[in-house]
Structure 1
């Protein structure tokens, strides 16, 4: 991915030098790592997503490494690309204006309108404040622990969370989450899968436009994104943690589903083709 020396976004809120460590309720459907860590430890950590009573905070000054600074610049450029792409897609396909989100960079921990964010929560989108929260240390986890290497794998993570913002702008996220509050856990998980697969599809639309309009995609980039989608499929994560995959517990979709929906968005480029809620075959 060609990103060095290119325009960054003005919608970055960098909190990395002074972070507030916290463990508590985590908002947003795009939370990946708390589930991932639970799989690796063989412990169900998902109750932390909904428990507002387990909050612990501390403050400390944080030094940024050269790697931190580079990662921040990379995220800023990637975010700027999503802004250009989604402004164009909203104008051409919907005849409306795309409202850009803010991306919060943090290190160790911070607070969101949806609750605490920490190294354990991973990247997530909070629809309440319309912000994405990202500790770029997750990119290291993505590469070293999950086997998803390459800068475009990291860009896919950002694009996926932006996909949740797009869902929020379209009114999809709030409706889906409202239904999730009124159904059983298994049904809620099934809706979550549809939300996540749609975000994967939307990230595919971004990749297509980044290639065709911005010309930033290099040889091998798409393979990196597809591989990342495969590596964070629920079945793969559970299997790699030594567990038998249990479909009723899936919240993000299988490796095959995640990679296929990304490719669907990339090949189509049309919002209508990312409607995971109207299909009987995910």
Structure 2
């Protein structure tokens, strides 16, 4: 079964202090939630099924994410090695934070795999879209991160941390059963319905990513002025890479980024019960 989520970096603005977004692969089939591999299921509950998985997820009742001491180091312009190190360390921080959070939900948790690539590889979820800078595939629970000269020009750590946290947010959605609801809802749905659901799942990943970023902002660090610049840029430009409006307008992306960052909690990220005006 195939299910892909993709994150693209706007090549024209790769050096701008902007958060990034993801898009959903056009080739979707219904998926069935399965227990996380490598995790004992003793005392672990199965994820909710159907609409409840998205609208009333146990994640929304877990409070703030733990503060994680996350010091991934600097990204040196043009240095693939420093970028790999940075991403790998941020992933470790994400694993630690979300493992703790999932313990509160009594849902099974497993770490996603991480793979770097300098080319657009084929994955179990299909071919890596040409416009994407990264990709999450739920079939093998792997986050694919592209390394290119354009990406390596951006040395802003908060930008890359948000990008990675967004991709990880899709893994969180998968483990929580939200992906299962999404995939089954858009299977054979009309185009307008698919786009509306896509915006809900992508904007939620934005929010989950920024909630995590808030909880590492003391050590990464993320200064308020830098965060404000990121949000301002995304409000003006966030939609330009997605002409089908499957990620929401820039103002919608900015709104959910702010919600997550201000709260530091998944409770702020329930896009599934939000009014459509917040998901335009």
Shorter chain as denominator, the TM-score bin is 0.5 to 0.7
Task: Provide the secondary structure at the position in 2 that maps to 1:216.
Answer: coil
Q: Residue 189 of structure 1 aligns with which residue? A: 195
Task: Report if aligned partners of 2:161, 2:213 keep a CA contact under 8 Å in 1.
Answer: no
Give the Cα separation in 1 of the matches to 2:178 and 2:6: 14
Give the Cα separation in 1 of the matches to 2:150 and 2:98: 24
Give the Cα separation in 1 of the matches to 2:170 and 2:149: 18
Q: Residue 216 of structure 1 aligns with which residue? A: 220
Uncovered stretches (5+) of structure 2, i.e. residues with no partner: 12-22, 29-76
Q: Of 125, 137, 143, which aligns to 1:114?
A: 125
Deviations 1:5-37 (Å, cap 9, x if unpaired)?
xxxxxxxxxxxxxxxxxxxxx95233436xx68
Query: Is 1:30 aligned with 2:6?
Result: yes
Query: Is 1:226 aligned with 2:231?
Result: yes
Give the Cα separation in 1 of the matches to 2:149 and 2:98: 24
Q: Residue 259 of structure 1 aligns with which residue? A: 254
Give the Cα separation in 1 of the matches to 2:232 and 2:140: 31
Equivalences for 1:140-219 in 2 at 5 Å?
140=151, 143=154, 150-211=156-217, 215-219=219-223
Q: Of 230, 233, 245, which aligns to 1:250?
A: 245
Q: Of 123, 131, 134, which aligns to 2:134?
A: 123
Give the Cα separation in 1 of the matches to 2:161 and 2:250: 18
Give the TM-score, by structure 2 length: 0.67
User: How far apart are residue 69 of structure 1 and its match?
Assistant: 1.0
How large is the RMSD of aligned CA atoms in angstroms?
3.1
Task: Report if aligned partners of 2:236, 2:251 keep a CA contact under 8 Å in 1.
Answer: no
User: How far apart are residue 124 of structure 1 and its match?
Assistant: 1.3
Equivalences for 1:6-17 in 2 at 5 Å?
none
Task: Report if aligned partners of 1:205, 1:270 keep a CA contact under 8 Å in 2.
Answer: yes
Give the TM-score, by structure 1 length: 0.67
Deviations 1:61-120 (Å, cap 9, x if unpaired)?
xxxx9711111111111111111221222224x244531101110111323111123654
Task: Report if aligned partners of 1:119, 1:135 keep a CA contact under 8 Å in 2.
Answer: no
Size of the aligned set, in residue pairs, is 216
Query: Is 1:69 aligned with 2:64?
Result: no
Uncovered stretches (5+) of structure 1, i.e. residues with no partner: 1-25, 38-45, 52-64, 144-148, 239-245
